[in-house]
Chains A and B, each alone.
Chain A
């Protein structure tokens, strides 16, 4: 099966270039000004841009266990609709992905029924209980790309050190969601002006910063590769900067929502503004944008966290934390950061493709001859409305519900096959 992508502009080395692309089977066979070869299928990408498939380091597919929120089929369909061709699945499933059988289940489901590559992240500790180290070496032989307890941040420093040393032993990156539980307490939103005004308990930036300090020191001592998930404060970024300057193996990611929203969004008690880490102050948001621009931040990751309507449609402090993110990520950031000239288009695209690939040493992230044909075709002039009927995720918990933003994903290809096509 051969496909030619014609009349579009192809993203090559940070620039959109008028080129044609030939797909042969699963791979990119040629990128050239004019391709004359005979093809089975021609895709007319007139007016659109062709980007490498996006890679998400941080997603919750809820499968197995909570498939009323999402499953591997719906989750990867949603990912494909957002231009993603690969997602990393966090292990907070039911049961927890802390063993080789669970890893293989996800891989098999994704391979047979998925619309995106699914890389599995194994649990850092057994059942993510923060008590004993998981069988991470066995899971690595089964293909996990990292270990993490994500939202169940290991509070015990001795165990964390042990986990990091063990992970370093087998060269497994450790992803942390840094949060000191005592400081975060029953906090609902950022401990800032809005929390003071509307009376919701606050989660101070300190809860994140203190844990980042600890984990950087522990990772340094252990010689481990540490990746900090969804960083959210100016001081956290400063800690990462210092660690990088010391030459440590520390990387970090930021979510789209921390780049464009602040605590002010919580003032209406919309439970779709409730997530961890919480939306921070404008100062923190600006620091994230600046760090993204400067390259201090290593990737954008969505933290796609589906929750059913009946779970989110509650009193604010009874609703679960988290929002979906695949379908909104590119479009929201394109409209709110690129079109407003706060970051360049290549910064956005690279942080969604080549840069996350590099962190976990994943294939893909760039369009070139011989690479897997994982790409997405986006019309930057059209627009998208995120309404409940259009969203492909099983859950609709997004702060951008019913918002219309610039750009529209026309096609996504994974392994040379169409995984999403605009109607």
Chain B
């Protein structure tokens, strides 16, 4: 049976079955081909309007969504909180009512509050793609990560994937855990205890390690996460130097992983903190390709949700 996507929301990957995720990956493959053409555009979403509603700033993700919509020939409008009425105290509800009155067909939202994509859908009754809501979820990032692995290594079943860094604040990890577990990968998360949420094993069925060597042991895929300086003032770790000493992805620490382990990072990277250039730039790194795949994944989702014609 062909999965049905028209009109659906993408809050997180828990709403999508293994088969549906595989279907999205196949669609992404097709979109990726379009992005290699000289004229990177297909007319499939002509007449549709996509709104990127970015209440939390993020230039890269917003560009990725906007490029994706443009390449499918949708009209794109962009709403940025920093230069908008939200800054003047307008509620999200009123903002969405206003945007909706302009005839939006699909919202792509980034917001610091978990659950806000659900609110946007509630107020607009239009499909919503979550572009990151607080620490909760970042399903398009997880899909592009999964696509990047699938493209290089094939079926994720049985793969050992290790994610290292600030797990506590990471929406990327949460969505990836859901998606990767659905595809049968074995995920290990690693970071200092102060940056590890409680109940990880029981909530996600993943493995938790506090020692990087053990976490990386036998890994097929290694993903680093951005370490943010502000966690220091929150009393969660003492210094970037000490963090790096114990958790940096380097040639030395990666000797525990499989020899050609795939290297990933959702960006932006702190070179020298969570990952050394020798790793970020090596031949097994797909960090730059992840970005290209991001556009393709978002194209695939928009295509499927808005019912584009192939």
Q: Name A residues whose Cβ lies closer than 8 Å to a Cβ of B.
A: 191-193, 195-202, 268-269, 310, 313-318
Identify the closest chain A residue to B136 (Cβ). A199
Can you list 7 A-B contacts with CB-CB less than 8 angstroms, sorted by A residue number? A195-B197, A197-B203, A200-B134, A200-B136, A268-B118, A316-B116, A317-B134
Contact of A318 among B113, B202, B203 (CB under 8 A): B113
> In the complex, which residues of chain B have a beta carbon less than 8 angstroms from the beta carbon of A316?
113-116
Contacts known (A314-B92, A315-B92, A315-B111); A196 close to B200, Cβ less than 8 A: yes
Contact call A315/B115, Cβ cutoff below 8 A: yes
Task: Decide yes or no whether B199 CB sits under 8 A from chain A.
Answer: yes
> In the complex, which residues of chain B have a beta carbon less than 8 angstroms from the beta carbon of A318?
113
Contact call B114/A199, Cβ cutoff below 8 A: yes
Question: Nearest-CB distance from A296 to chain B (Å)?
Answer: 27
- Compute how far the CA of A59 lies from the CA of B44 in the bound complex, rounded to whole angstroms: 58
Contact call A199/B91, Cβ cutoff below 8 A: no
Contact call B136/A198, Cβ cutoff below 8 A: yes
Contact call A198/B115, Cβ cutoff below 8 A: yes
Question: Nearest-CB distance from B175 to chain A (Å)?
Answer: 10
- Compute how far the CA of A33 lies from the CA of B203 in the bound complex, rounded to whole angstroms: 59
Tell me which of A201, A268, A316 has the highest count of chain B C-beta atoms within 10 A of its own C-beta: A316
Known contacts A192-B199, A313-B93; 15 further A-B pairs (Cβ under 8 A): A196-B198, A196-B200, A198-B136, A199-B136, A200-B135, A200-B136, A313-B91, A314-B91, A314-B93, A314-B119, A315-B92, A315-B111, A315-B119, A317-B114, A317-B134
> In the complex, which residues of chain B have a beta carbon less than 8 angstroms from the beta carbon of A192?
198-199
Chain B 96-136 near chain A by CB (<8 Å), digits 1 or 0: 00000000000000011111101100000000000001111
> In the complex, which residues of chain B have a beta carbon less than 8 angstroms from the beta carbon of A196?
197-200, 203
Contact of B198 among A191, A200, A313 (CB under 8 A): A191
Chain B 188-227 near chain A by CB (<8 Å), digits 1 or 0: 0000000001111011000000000000000000000000
Chain B 10-34 near chain A by CB (<8 Å), digits 1 or 0: 0000000000000000000000000
Contacts known (A310-B91, A314-B92); A199 close to B116, Cβ less than 8 A: no
Contact of A199 among B93, B135, B199 (CB under 8 A): B135
Question: Nearest-CB distance from A311 to chain B (Å)?
Answer: 10
Contact call A199/B203, Cβ cutoff below 8 A: no
> In the complex, which residues of chain A have a beta carbon less than 8 angstroms from the beta carbon of B45?
none
Contact call A197/B113, Cβ cutoff below 8 A: no
> In the complex, which residues of chain A have a beta carbon less than 8 angstroms from the beta carbon of B146?
none
> In the complex, which residues of chain A have a beta carbon less than 8 angstroms from the beta carbon of B112?
317
Identify the closest chain A residue to B135 (Cβ). A199
Contact call A317/B113, Cβ cutoff below 8 A: yes
- Compute how far the CA of A202 lies from the CA of B203 in the bound complex, rounded to whole angstroms: 15
> In the complex, which residues of chain A have a beta carbon less than 8 angstroms from the beta carbon of B92?
314-315
> In the complex, which residues of chain A have a beta carbon less than 8 angstroms from the beta carbon of B111?
315
Contacts known (A192-B198, A318-B113); A199 close to B119, Cβ less than 8 A: no
Contact call A200/B114, Cβ cutoff below 8 A: yes
Contact call A198/B199, Cβ cutoff below 8 A: no
Task: Decide yes or no whether B174 CB sits under 8 A from chain A.
Answer: yes
When A and B form their complex, which 8 residue pairs have the shortest distance between CB atoms, in order from nearest?
A269-B115, A199-B135, A315-B113, A199-B136, A196-B197, A199-B114, A193-B199, A316-B115
> In the complex, which residues of chain A have a beta carbon less than 8 angstroms from the beta carbon of B114?
198-200, 269, 316-317
> In the complex, which residues of chain A have a beta carbon less than 8 angstroms from the beta carbon of B199?
192-193, 196
- Compute how far the CA of A191 lies from the CA of B93 in the bound complex, rounded to whole angstroms: 28
- Compute how far the CA of A317 lies from the CA of B56 in the bound complex, rounded to whole angstroms: 14
Contact call A269/B118, Cβ cutoff below 8 A: yes
Identify the closest chain A residue to B116 (Cβ). A315
- Compute how far the CA of A202 lies from the CA of B91 in the bound complex, rounded to whole angstroms: 24
> In the complex, which residues of chain A have a beta carbon less than 8 angstroms from the beta carbon of B171?
199
From 157 to 176 in chain B, residues with beta carbon under 8 angstroms from any chain A beta carbon are: 171, 174
- Compute how far the CA of A315 lies from the CA of B134 in the bound complex, rounded to whole angstroms: 11
- Compute how far the CA of A193 lies from the CA of B133 in the bound complex, rounded to whole angstroms: 18
- Compute how far the CA of A200 lies from the CA of B137 in the bound complex, rounded to whole angstroms: 11
> In the complex, which residues of chain A have a beta carbon less than 8 angstroms from the beta carbon of B203?
193, 196-197
> In the complex, which residues of chain A have a beta carbon less than 8 angstroms from the beta carbon of B113?
315-318
> In the complex, which residues of chain B have a beta carbon less than 8 angstroms from the beta carbon of A201?
135
Identify the closest chain B residue to A319 (Cβ). B113
